Amino acid sequence: MTELTTLPTITVLGAGYVGLTTAALLAHSGYMVYAVEPNEERLQVIQSGVSFFYEDGLDVLIKTAIDNGTLIATSSYQASIPKSHIVFSSVGTPDNPDGSSNLTYVFAAATEAAKLMPEGAIYVQKSTVPVGTGTRIKQLFAQENKQIPYVSNPEFLREGTAVFDTLYFDRVVAGGDDFGAVQAVTGVYKQLELHRDDIADIATIKKSRQVGHYISTNLNSAELIKVTSNAFLALKISFANSIAKLSDVVGADVVEVMDAVGADKRIGRAFLNAGRGYGGGCFPKDISGLIASGKEYGVDLAIMKAAQDVNNTMPTYVIDKLSKKLDNLSGKKIAVLGLAFKAGTSDTRRSPGISIANSLVSLGVNVQAFDPKANEEASHNLDPAVIITSSIEEALINIDVIIIATDWPEFIKQDPSFYTNRTTSRVIVDAVNKLDKHSYVSAGLQYIGVGR
């Protein structure tokens, strides 16, 4: 049994969306934290005191912690792990071409860390991994002749609200067979709770009185909890989109339908939002990984395959609705507003907005696109023919159609006159179903929603 009686030094392996947020917050909670990032370009950005991606409130936390000497960004395992009592692994888990999880980085990090971890140190897996991964890593540790306590501690943060979600968590899951190690990991979050209001002030984010739950489980349960949670949320989105398609045919409004359905406390309104589908670095990857895990263990997760299939159709469904309205899109000039996969982040991984923009180009459309935070990142995946503009106003110049592809406040909070005064276009596609349909119709715009 492993017990920690003093505040530990912590190393976080991988300074991406999860790792860097975790490291910065723990560095404000009384811990000495090493953030290990092997990518030299990203490392230099972090060492300068900012994040290489956009996340509300994170930059000031990084800068303050580095200035205080409680956060050290490094590329060296040797300079960090031997000094640490707890090592969090937050390295990437991209998917393979067949949809299964690529665990190359996970096992490489565990192998290297095992060689350097001091006696009694705890290895914690925060990366989302398939069920059974922890068992394989424990076997790896045994091959290195190391008795290293292993805990699965999956993250549940949302990009765009990652700082808030980590501070005011709804649950902390820790799974493993070493009770002392599990308690030590939950103790890290209890220490974070003691400082969270002060940290929220530094980050200038909203506060909450929410009290999170601590859930201790066995290892396999902890690993399955995370992917199951994401899969269920994705299933709700695909369910709403299926009903949206039916709503379009029968003349119903899916927003009204889901408002009423979500009023049932057994169901809840969250994630019943129809639109251009989900994207990002979690839902698509976690669902394909869960399907692959089921296949590995002889279980056909048909319901998740259906959710995946529905989601894959949604960007094209939006374009098809527009095409039917205008008869022919070729030669049209269309503004795509929103390239991040969701508002509040610069992440463009599997972004429906990018998919829509690229598909329009293939149909002979002239596309002008803008995103408040994701222009640069999106440029790597956009068709070269897409013109990336520096402002909403520039994107709206001389266009025929406006497509709202991401629910940034800059797009959805505008009065209809914002658009009618800046362009002669009278067609607006609400691919996120967040506009007030009636006010846009009253302003003389042809409104096209999803299931509306």
Task: Compare 444 and 5 and report the one with higher pLDDT.
Answer: 444
d(CA 304, CA 316): 20
- Is there a single domain that holds both residue 161 and residue 259? no
Task: Compare 107 and 281 and report the one with higher pLDDT.
Answer: 107
Task: With respect to residue 344, please indicate whether it lies within any of the assigned structural domains.
Answer: yes
Q: Is residue 1 over pLDDT 60?
A: no
- Is there a single domain that holds both residue 294 and residue 150? no
279-320 pLDDT, tens digit each: 998 899 999 999 999 999 999 999 999 999 999 999 999 999
User: In this predicted structure, what is the pLDDT of residue 442?
Assistant: 95
Q: Determine contact, residues 172/214, Cβ cutoff 8 Å.
A: yes
Which of residues 179, 195, 217 is at a domain's end? Answer: 217
Task: With respect to residue 227, please indicate whether it lies within any of the assigned structural domains.
Answer: no
- Is there a single domain that holds both residue 198 and residue 334? no
- Is there a single domain that holds both residue 189 and residue 299? no
How many CA atoms, within 13 angstroms, populate the side-chain half-sphere of residue 48?
A: 9
405-422 pLDDT, tens digit each: 999 999 999 999 999 999
- Is there a single domain that holds both residue 212 and residue 291? no
User: Residue 325 sits in a domain of what CATH number?
Assistant: 3.40.50.720
Q: pLDDT grade, residue 95 (50/70/90)?
A: confident
Q: What is the pTM of this model?
A: 0.90
DSSP 53: S
Q: Is residue 423 over pLDDT 80?
A: yes
Task: With respect to residue 1, please indicate whether it lies within any of the assigned structural domains.
Answer: no
Q: Is the dihedral of CA 352, 288, 100, 170 positive or negative?
A: positive
Task: With respect to residue 140, please indicate whether it lies within any of the assigned structural domains.
Answer: yes
User: In this predicted structure, what is the pLDDT of residue 36?
Assistant: 98
Q: pLDDT grade, residue 212 (50/70/90)?
A: confident
Exposed, middle or buried by CB within 10 Å (0-12, 13-18, 19+), for 201?
A: exposed
347-395 pLDDT, tens digit each: 999 999 999 999 999 999 999 999 999 999 999 999 999 999 999 999 9
Domain count across the chain? 2
- Is there a single domain that holds both residue 210 and residue 251? no
Q: Is residue 255 over pLDDT 90?
A: yes
- Is there a single domain that holds both residue 22 and residue 136? yes
Q: pLDDT grade, residue 327 (50/70/90)?
A: confident
User: In this predicted structure, what is the pLDDT of residue 2?
Assistant: 45
Q: Which of 33, 87, 121, 282 is catalytic?
A: 282
Task: With respect to residue 209, please indicate whether it lies within any of the assigned structural domains.
Answer: yes
269's tokens: 């309104």
Residue 126, phi then psi, degrees to nearest 5? -100, -25
User: In this predicted structure, what is the pLDDT of residue 6?
Assistant: 65
User: In this predicted structure, what is the pLDDT of residue 209?
Assistant: 84
- Is there a single domain that holds both residue 199 and residue 278? no
Catalytic-residue membership of 282: yes
- Is there a single domain that holds both residue 132 and residue 257? no
Task: With respect to residue 241, please indicate whether it lies within any of the assigned structural domains.
Answer: no
- Is there a single domain that holds both residue 97 and residue 151? yes
- Is there a single domain that holds both residue 84 and residue 124? yes
- Is there a single domain that holds both residue 113 and residue 52? yes
d(CA 452, CA 254): 6
Task: With respect to residue 242, please indicate whether it lies within any of the assigned structural domains.
Answer: no
Domain limits for position 325: 247-448
Which of residues 178, 202, 217 is at a domain's end? Answer: 217
Task: With respect to residue 25, please indicate whether it lies within any of the assigned structural domains.
Answer: yes
Mean pLDDT of the chain: 95
Q: Is residue 440 over pLDDT 50?
A: yes
Which of residues 217, 235, 261 is at a domain's end? Answer: 217
